[in-house]
């Protein structure tokens, strides 16, 4: 998600620095940008000049202070664990300019759980992109009780500048709009599968051909990452202590086996190297 958000912003004309603690991840992100831009030029979707401008506006660094030192907007896209995100936000607060907006791309976690790790809660909000971020138009912007209206306006404007369609949530709710709806479908699909009502392939086919969705819930889990689903539900369970919020047995089994979907080559479905 991070590399795609960074490239989408660069294509929109913004000056972008993409940071990761992993040099390997940064190399992958740089290669991805080069390949994506070259393919868009080859397909006539982008001129060579536009591609060059985007690439010139995109830098990669392992140094968080270098990345955020003069930023106007920082978008965090790390693992869905509150403790990790709080640590990142505390560091961002210390290295970014006082006026910089700090946004989280979290799929579920509301920004009020992160804002007090900073000295600027009024400049913290959710800016949730959808996967793949270069393709999907929707961005969910969530205004927490701590978030200033000016912060919301800035984030909505940046999303529009990237060719996105931002929707505003006037108050916080875990999972926001789309993922709350998708979670209801996913949980029912897992129940139907685990109780032997139907195979995951047939459940996917029913959702695609009966409801008109572009892909079924199991194919979508493979795309977004079964590890992400596991971490999100475990965070919810840790917060509430409610056994109903634990990940399903199937998700736990897939997570432990390392069958996380497309990223590992196998989830509910198997994927080749291409």
Q: What is the spatial distance between Cα 262 and Cα 264, in angstroms, rounded to a whole number?
A: 5
Catalytic site includes residue 146: no
Please write down the HEC assignment for all residues of 166-191.
EEEECCCCCCCCHHHHHHHHHHHHHH
Q: Got the DSSP string for 134-151?
A: TT--EEEEE--TT--HHH
Instruction: List the catalytic residue out of 76, 80, 140, 174.
Output: 140
Catalytic site includes residue 242: no
Catalytic site includes residue 213: no
Among candidate residues 54, 95, 57, the one with its CA nearest the CA of residue 76: 95
Among candidate residues 256, 255, 235, 254, the one with its CA nearest the CA of residue 246: 235
Instruction: List the catalytic residue out of 105, 128, 231, 248.
Output: 128
HSE (CB half, 13 Å, CA atoms) of 233? Answer: 21
Instruction: List the catalytic residue out of 106, 107, 126, 248.
Output: 107
Catalytic site includes residue 209: no
Instruction: List the catalytic residue out of 96, 105, 106, 179.
Output: 179
CB 118 within 8 A of CB 124: yes
Instruction: Catalogue the active-site residues.
Output: 107, 128, 140, 179
């Amino acid at each position: 998600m991070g590399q795609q958000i960074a490239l989408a912003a660069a294509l929109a004309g913004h000056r972008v620095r993409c940071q990761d603690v992993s040099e390997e991840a940064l190399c992958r992100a740089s290669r991805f940008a080069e390949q994506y831009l070259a393919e868009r030029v080859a397909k006539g979707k982008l001129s060579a000049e536009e591609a060059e401008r985007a690439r010139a506006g995109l830098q990669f660094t392992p140094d968080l202070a270098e990345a955020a030192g003069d930023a106007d907007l920082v978008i965090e896209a790390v693992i869905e664990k509150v403790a990790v995100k709080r640590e990142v936000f505390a560091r961002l607060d210390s290295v970014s300019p006082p006026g910089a907006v700090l946004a989280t791309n979290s799929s579920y976690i509301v920004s009020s759980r992160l804002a007090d790790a900073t000295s600027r809660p009024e400049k913290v909000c959710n800016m949730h992109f959808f996967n793949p971020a270069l393709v999907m138009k929707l961005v969910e912007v969530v205004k927490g009780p701590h978030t200033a209206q000016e912060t919301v306006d800035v984030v909505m404007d940046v999303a529009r500048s990237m060719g996105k369609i931002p929707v505003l949530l006037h108050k916080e709710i875990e999972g926001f709009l789309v993922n709350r709806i998708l979670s209801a479908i996913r949980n029912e699909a897992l129940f139907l599968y685990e109780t032997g009502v139907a195979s995951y392939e047939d459940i996917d086919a029913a959702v695609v051909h009966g409801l008109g969705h572009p892909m079924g819930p199991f194919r979508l889990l493979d795309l977004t990452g079964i590890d992400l689903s596991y971490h999100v539900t475990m965070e919810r369970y840790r917060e509430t202590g409610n056994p109903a919020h634990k990940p399903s047995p199937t998700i736990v089994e897939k997570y432990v086996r390392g069958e996380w979907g497309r990223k590992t080559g196998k989830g509910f479905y198997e994927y080749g190297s291409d």
